């Protein structure tokens, strides 16, 4: 910013040499007082105001009338500077010659309200008859100061860590900063006068630059990623912002380009990408990337109508290798498997690792029809199985392995990715079930069964919460038909399904371990019933048999829980009988005996259920402290017509009795069956012939009869 001092005496270029000329000038200046942009103040030797211009009134807030005769320093010089000002004036008077001395200084000014602002002060002095007169021209330079600050800040900012280049409207480089040189390798001297195309790498085509310039013209700025070339020839990525600078008329005067080198950020991005989407061990795509590609494959297959296939692969007995040879060898095996899988597929197919020893191969664009596609998928699957069966060579040893493989085809986009993964997984499950080292296709019937099972499981949990279960009791009688006890059989009164048979939900409850809360509920309910019977003379002798699943029995705190339940309900322990099945015996017989003995010590009895259907060895049977054998109903139903079954039944009766147990036959449906059993020496019966499982009230008729 230049100062316009043309109407101030001091600004005059040529030296002012005579007093006459000076006075003339001063008078002219005075005439200009009112018109001047600057404030003009005249003062006498003592620094008192003799003239105060309009502009001075505006600038400082005092009217001329308020100022005449007062010391200027007191009016417009902030207190802190006042003393210095006065001394300056005095020194000035002492040394001043009769000629004018123009001094332009930047000092602080003060308004009537005490507020300060920067001013530029030019003082002209006149010595007449030994007396000084002064004329001060004062300019408010607040705006100029701000502009100067801006410039200074801009200059500092220009030397930032971002590369910067300023070009004129034609794109010729006018200025570059140090960061520009650091990043591009071109010195300022080399860059000035060149175009920015100096840096072009050739990685972007003409269309790219056209779009970029169109953006700048339209919106005044553009930013984006761009590949440029350093002086050394190295190509690097940068993040570039180009801003157009507009002149007063809105025309573009300059362009400012700022950029940062993003080589490192890009490398970091790539690494993050690698970590997020690839399995570190094998370098194969992970589940996330597979899911992504599967989505795309489904979409493209809806367009092309070419089916694809998803192959789930699981190494057989991989855990064994890991456990025996260690994780390092396990990792080596997985890496070799990954390589073999990649060798089995085409370029466009995806091999992924889901984790552990689970791999997935996605085949795309198999062919037109589903049948043809299935054949192709099967061929690839077989090839994979063969490849994975080849011996694996580790440094010291050769390892043999095999894999199981499940295939799910996809032809329409209406399968979701999840659904498809589940299907392939189910097929894999089937392959494993079929003895491993084999391949299975997804089968919709199996799917239906699994879905139904999942629904039943959810219902079962819900049913437990909502107390949808109840106990029925089936009579057990002696040869006189007198009631000796009952077996508790659980019933599920489902709000929609109706009465659900335990045969349908007990196996599921065992699989999901829901048998634990359910079994506990049964035991508790049964014990409360025993407690109720204990108080009545005609029921006090009744025993109550409760079915106990192996899962319950194998729990470490089974004994404690049973005893606590008996205790809480106040039930006579000696009337409680637990029915165990032979399936229990496959595990740790010593532990079973210990638990049975602990409970027997409190009077609890044991019956072996479904006897004759399992494979229990007689030697085990002899060791178990059982009280009762229950002959399975399957023997009875044929016993009368089939002599073989009849023999077995009679042998079992004899066997039980020889081992000191009572024998009870279940499933007795006819008088003939009952009589046959009695002839064979069996004196206890349970079955429809004597009574169906029913609510406790149904037992009343036995008591009335007595
Ligand atoms: P189970 O322990 O062998 O029970 C005997 C089954 O035979 C019962 O079936 C009973 O209703 C049926 N039954 C009784 N008399 C006759 C007859 O004369 N003819 C024929 N054909 N059947 C007869 P249910 O009640 O359907 O129970 C099936 C199985 O569910 C039981 O077999 C038992 O293994 C299991 N179960 C029932 N309640 C429980 C329980 O509370 N806990 C456990 N863990 N399992 C239970
Ligand atoms: Ca039973
Ligand atoms: Ca049974």
Neighbours of 413 (CB within 10 A): 14
Residue that wins the pLDDT comparison between 94 and 473: 473
Contact 613, 667 (CB under 8 A): no
Q: In this structure, are residues 150 and 130 in contact, taking their beta carbons and an 8 Å threshold?
A: no
Residue closest via CA to ligand 1's atom 37 equals 489
Could you tell me which CATH number the domain at 159-267 has? 3.30.450.20
Ligand 1 centroid, distance to 241 Cα (angstroms) = 80
pLDDT of residue 35: 55
Look at residue 537 and tell me whether its pLDDT is greater than 90: yes
Specify the pLDDT at position 7. 39
Rg over alpha carbons for the chain, rounded to the nearest Å, is 52
Q: Lowest mean pLDDT: which of 216-220, 355-359, 539-543? A: 216-220
Compute the distance from residue 471 Cα to the ligand 2 centre, in Å.
13
Smallest CA separation from ligand 1 atom 27, residue: 502
Least confident of 93-107, 125-139, 284-298, 600-614: 93-107
3-state secondary structure of 112: coil
Q: For the chain, where do the domains classified as CATH 3.20.20.450 start and end?
A: 458-705
Determine the Cα angle at 94 with ends 91 and 95, to 5°: 90
Position 358 pLDDT exceeds 90: yes
Instruction: Please report the pLDDT score of residue 10 as a whole number.
Output: 42
Q: Which ligand gives the minimal distance to the CA of 674?
A: 1
Task: State the chain's mean pLDDT as an integer.
Answer: 87
Q: What is the dihedral of CA 508, 609, 666, 626, to 10 degrees?
A: -160
Location of each CATH 3.30.450.20 domain in the chain: 36-142, 159-267
End-to-end C-alpha distance for the chain, whole angstroms: 126
Token pair for 363: 């085949």
Nearest C-alpha to atom 19 of ligand 1 is from which residue? Answer: 667
Residue 151 has pLDDT above 80, yes or no: no
Q: Which residues contact 471 (CB under 8 A, 6 or more apart)?
A: 488, 489, 490, 491, 522, 525, 526, 529
* pLDDT computed for residue 123 by the predictor: 81
Residue nearest to atom 23 of ligand 1 (CA): 667
Q: In 624-656, which positions are buried (b, 16+ CB within 10 angstroms) versus exposed (e)?
A: bebbbbbbbbebbeebeeeeebbebbbebbebb
Edge-to-edge strand ranges of the sheet holding 131-140 = 49-52, 39-43, 131-140, 116-128, 103-110
Q: What is the mean pLDDT of residues 58-83?
A: 93
Q: Assign 541 a pLDDT band (cuts: 50, 70, 90).
A: very high
Question: Residues 178-200: what's their mean pLDDT?
Answer: 94
Express each pLDDT in 298-323 by its tens digit. 888 888 888 899 999 999 989 888 88
Q: Report the pocket of ligand 1 as residue ranges, CB < 6 Å.
A: 474, 489-490, 501-503, 506, 519, 522, 547, 549, 609-610, 633, 666-669, 687-688, 693
Q: Are 278 and 285 in contact (CB under 8 A)?
A: yes
Ligand 1 pocket mutation pick from 473, 477, 489 by most atoms within 8 angstroms of CB: 489
Q: Give the closest residue to 27 by CA, choosing from 51, 55, 47.
A: 51
User: Percentage of the chain surpassing pLDDT 70?
Assistant: 92
Nearest to 468 by CA among 419, 535, 425, 514: 514
| Structural contact between residues 620 and 585, judged by C-beta atoms closer than 8 angstroms | yes
> Cα of 692 to ligand 1 centre, how many Å?
11
Is the predicted pLDDT of residue 3 greater than 60, yes or no? no
Mean pLDDT of 237-255: 88
Pair of tokens at residue 457: 């499981």
Can you give the pLDDT at residue 650? Answer: 81
* Dist CA 165 CA 186 (whole Å): 12
Ligand 1 atom having least distance to the Cα of 471: 41
Q: Residue 45 phi/psi, 5° resolution? A: -60, -30
* 682: helix, strand or coil: coil
- Average pLDDT for residues 454-479, to the nearest whole number? 94
Which structure tokens are listed for 260?
């940062």
> Looking at residue 414, what is its pLDDT?
63
State which ligand 1 atom lies nearest to the alpha carbon of 610. Answer: 3
Q: How confident is the model at residue 635 (pLDDT cuts 50, 70, 90)?
A: confident
CATH code of the region 278-442: 3.30.70.270
Looking only at the bridges linking them, the beta strands covering 576-580 and 605-611 are parallel
Distance 71 CA to ligand 3 centre (A): 123
Q: Which ligand is nearest to the CA of 631?
A: 3
pLDDT at 487 > cutoff 90: yes
Euclidean distance between CA atoms 35 and 53, whole angstroms? 9
CA distance 388 to 341: 8
Ligand 1 centroid to residue 569 C-alpha, Å: 24
Q: Which atom of ligand 1 is nearest to the CA of 668?
A: 18
Q: pLDDT band for position 344 (50/70/90)?
A: very high
pLDDT for the residue 28 = 62
Q: Give CA–CA dist 408/421, Å, rounded.
A: 8
Residue 292 has pLDDT above 80, yes or no: yes
Q: How far apart are CA 161 and CA 178, in angstroms?
A: 8
- Residue nearest (by alpha carbon) to ligand 1 atom 12: 667
- Distance in angstroms (rounded) separating the CA atoms of residues 247 and 253: 6
Q: Which helix (H) or strand (E) holds 541?
A: none
Per-residue pLDDT averaged across 250-259, rounded? 90
User: How many whole angstroms from 462 Cα to the centroid of ligand 1?
Assistant: 23
Q: How much is the average pLDDT of 660-666? A: 93
Is the domain spanning 36-142 CATH 3.30.450.20? The answer is: yes
pLDDT of res. 14: 43
Q: How far is CA 549 from the centre of its chain?
A: 40
Confidence check: pLDDT of 1 > 60: no
Share in percent of the chain as helix, strand, coil (round to 5): 45, 25, 30
Distance from the CA of 582 to the center of ligand 2, in angstroms? 12
Mapping DSSP onto H, E and C, the string for 639-693 reads HCCCHHHHHHHHHHHHHHHHCCCEEEEECCCCHHHHHHHHHCCCCEEECCCCCCC
Helix (H, G, I), strand (E, B) or coil at 394: coil
From CA 326, how far away is CA 395, in angstroms rounded?
A: 14
* Confidence bin at 587 (pLDDT 50/70/90): confident
- Topology at the third CATH level for domain 458-705: TIM Barrel (3.20.20)
Question: What is the residue with the minimal CA distance to atom 2 of ligand 1?
Answer: 547
Residue 59 three-state SS: helix
Query: Residue ranges of the alpha helices (H) in 61-205?
Result: 64-67, 72-76, 79-95, 142-158, 178-184, 188-191
Tell me if residue 311 falls in helix, strand or coil: strand
pLDDT of residue 616: 58
- pLDDT at residue 384, as a whole number: 97
Higher pLDDT, 102 or 606: 606
Residue 303: left if φ>0, alpha if ψ -120 to 50, beta else—which one?
A: alpha
Rounded CA gap, 439 and 436, in Å?
8
Is residue 579's pLDDT more than 50?
yes
Least distant ligand from the CA of 669: 1
Q: Does the predicted TM-score (pTM) go above 0.85? A: no
The ligand whose atoms approach the alpha carbon of 610 most closely is 3
CATH 3.30.70.270 in the chain, residues? 278-442
**CB 279 within 8 Å of CB 353:** yes
Say which residue, 641 or 603, is predicted with more confidence.
Answer: 603
User: For a pocket test of ligand 1, which of 471, 472, 502 has the largest count of ligand atoms closer than 8 A to its C-beta?
Assistant: 502
Tens-digit pLDDT profile for residues 544-567: 999 999 999 999 999 999 999 999
User: Which residue is closest in CA terms to ligand 1's atom 16?
Assistant: 667
């Amino acid at each position: 910013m230049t100062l316009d001092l043309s109407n101030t005496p001091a600004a005059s270029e040529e030296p002012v040499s005579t007093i006459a000329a000076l006075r003339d000038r001063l008078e002219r200046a005075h005439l200009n007082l009112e018109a001047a942009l600057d404030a003009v103040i005249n003062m006498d030797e003592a620094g008192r105001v003799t003239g105060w211009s309009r502009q001075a009134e505006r600038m400082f807030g005092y009217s001329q009338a308020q100022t005449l005769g007062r010391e200027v320093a007191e009016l417009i010089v902030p207190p802190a500077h006042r003393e210095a000002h006065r001394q300056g004036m005095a020194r000035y008077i002492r040394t001043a010659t009769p000629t004018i001395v123009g001094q332009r200084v930047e000092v602080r000014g003060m308004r009537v309200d005490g507020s300060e602002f920067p001013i530029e002060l030019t003082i002209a002095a006149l010595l007449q008859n030994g007396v000084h007169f002064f004329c001060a021209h004062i300019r408010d330079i607040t705006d100029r100061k701000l502009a100067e600050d801006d410039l200074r800040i801009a200059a500092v900012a220009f030397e930032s860590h971002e590369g910067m280049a300023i070009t004129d409207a034609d794109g010729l480089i006018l200025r570059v900063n140090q960061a520009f040189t650091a990043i591009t390798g071109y010195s300022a001297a080399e860059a000035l006068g060149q175009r920015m195309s100096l840096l072009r790498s050739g990685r972007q085509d003409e269309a790219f630059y056209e779009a970029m310039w169109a953006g700048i013209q339209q919106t005044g700025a553009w930013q984006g990623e761009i590949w440029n070339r350093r002086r050394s020839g190295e190509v690097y990525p940068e993040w570039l912002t180009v801003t157009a600078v507009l002149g007063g008329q809105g025309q573009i005067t300059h362009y400012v380009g700022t950029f940062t080198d993003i080589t490192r950020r890009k490398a970091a991005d790539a690494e993050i990408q690698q970590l997020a989407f690839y399995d570190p061990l094998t370098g194969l795509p992970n589940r996330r990337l597979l899911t992504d590609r599967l989505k795309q494959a489904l979409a493209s297959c809806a367009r092309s109508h070419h089916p694809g296939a998803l192959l789930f692969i699981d190494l057989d007995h991989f855990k064994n290798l890991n456990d025996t040879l260690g994780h390092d060898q396990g990792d080596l095996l997985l890496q070799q498997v990954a390589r073999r899988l990649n060798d089995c597929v085409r370029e466009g197919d995806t091999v992924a690792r889901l984790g552990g020893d689970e791999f997935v191969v996605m085949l795309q664009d198999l062919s037109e029809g589903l049948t043809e596609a299935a054949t192709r998928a099967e061929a690839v699957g077989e090839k994979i199985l063969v490849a994975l069966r080849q011996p694996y060579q580790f440094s010291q040893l050769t390892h043999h392995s095999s894999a199981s493989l499940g295939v799910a085809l996809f032809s329409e986009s209406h399968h979701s990715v999840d659904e498809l993964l589940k299907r392939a997984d189910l097929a894999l499950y089937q392959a494993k079930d079929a003895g491993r080292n084999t391949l299975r296709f997804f089968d919709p019937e199996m799917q239906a069964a699994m879905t139904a099972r999942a629904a039943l499981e959810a219902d079962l949990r819900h049913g437990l919460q909502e107390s949808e279960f109840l106990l029925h009791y089936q009579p057990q009688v002696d040869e006189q038909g007198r009631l000796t006890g009952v077996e508790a059989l659980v019933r599920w009164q489902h709000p929609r399904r109706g009465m659900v048979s335990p045969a349908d939900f007990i196996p599921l409850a065992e699989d999901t371990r829901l048998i634990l809360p359910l079994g506990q509920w049964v035991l508790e309910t049964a014990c409360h019933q025993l407690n109720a019977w204990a108080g009545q003379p005609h029921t006090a002798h009744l025993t109550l048999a409760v079915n106990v699943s192996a899962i319950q029995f194998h729990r470490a705190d089974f004994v404690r829980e049973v005893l606590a339940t008996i205790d809480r309900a106040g039930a006579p322990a000696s009337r409680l009988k637990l029915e165990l099945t032979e399936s229990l015996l496959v595990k740790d017989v010593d532990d079973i005996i210990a638990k049975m003995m602990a409970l027997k010590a409190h009077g609890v009895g044991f019956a072996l259920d479904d006897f004759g259907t399992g494979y229990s060895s007689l030697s085990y049977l002899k060791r178990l402290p059982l009280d009762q054998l229950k002959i399975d109903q399957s023997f009875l139903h044929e016993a009368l017509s089939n002599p073989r079954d009849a023999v077995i039944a009679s042998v079992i009766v004899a066997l039980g009795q020889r081992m000191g147990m009572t024998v009870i036959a279940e499933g007795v449906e006819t008088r003939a069956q009952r009589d046959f059993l009695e002839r064979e020496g069996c004196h206890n019966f349970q079955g429809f012939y004597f009574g169906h499982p029913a609510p406790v009230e149904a037992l009343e008729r036995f008591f009335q009869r007595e």
